[in-house]
Amino acid sequence: DAGVIQSPRHEVTEMGQEVTLRCKPISGHNSLFWYRQTMMRGLELLIYFNNNVPIDDSGMPEDRFSAKMPNASFSTLKIQPSEPRDSAVYFCASSFGGYYGYTFGSGTRLTVV
């Protein structure tokens, strides 16, 4: 298995632009999570899905952030418009049920200038 695949690995964009991060979970995993990591805040949960349904999006910072999971093999996290304070590493992770660990993707390093 190729693991959790995220794209792009790096993204540099100007303030005000739209950014879309992509994630392909491990086949057969039914839960998908989006986390953001910064030095100040550590690993923050943004949103998670069970069986493609968003369960808790209370971690999404504001309306500029949105996430979708149209099918079991694909999810997107969109930021529109982007701001410098959104700069962070964004991780996608997937798991099977509540008894197994999470497998993280390699992350997307987002820099908003």
Partner 1 sequence: QQPVQSPQAVILREGEDAVINCSSSKALYSVHWYRQKHGEAPVFLMILLKGGEQKGHEKISASFNEKKQQSSLYLTASQLSYSGTYFCGTSPQAGTALIFGKGTTLSVSS
Using CB under 8 A, list all residues that contact partner 1: 31, 33, 35, 42-43, 45, 48, 50, 55-56, 91, 98-107
What is the torsional sign of CA 70, 74, 77, 81? negative
CB of 4: closest distance to partner 1 in angstroms?
A: 8
| Residue 45: both structure tokens together | 């949960």
Closer Cβ to partner 1, 64 or 89, answer by number:
89
Count, residues in the chain: 113
Alpha-carbon distance of 32 to 54, in angstroms, equals 9
Closest distance to partner 1 from the beta carbon of 106 (Å): 6
Nearer to partner 1, 5 or 13 (CB): 5
Q: How far is the CB of 16 from partner 1 (least distance, A)?
A: 28
Q: What are phi and psi of 83, to 5 degrees?
A: -130, 155
